Copies of this chain bind each other. A is one copy, B any other.
């Protein structure tokens, strides 16, 4: 099992807009081999931003990597450049192998 997280710093005041982007987004993940689960999660609020993360679970690291090279991935990210003003800096990716 593998957990893929992408961390987003959302400028204060833009939390609801950011959540609605994900709420209305077509991820095409259900069709992807090895995909198990997706969540959007909200972390701590700091002075300038609130930490969010996309949190997806996969049967293996390979299934995640294969997805990042797929047409489904390109379709899910084709509008990723819009709404840049919601963010402070770039998203930060972290991947984790499930050990126990």
Interface positions of A (Cβ within 8 A of B): 1, 3, 19, 22-23, 38-44, 51-53, 55, 94-100
Contact = CB atoms under 8 A, between A and B. Distances in A.
Contact of A43 (B38, B43, B94): B94
A98 B41 CA distance: 4
A97 B41 contact: yes
Number of copies: 2
A84 to B, nearest CB: 21
What DSSP secondary structure best describes chain A's contact surface? strand
A19 B100 contact: yes
Nearest to A18: B99
A1 B95 CA distance: 21
15 contacts: A1-B39, A3-B39, A3-B55, A22-B99, A22-B100, A23-B100, A39-B99, A39-B100, A40-B100, A41-B97, A41-B98, A42-B99, A43-B96, A44-B94, A52-B99
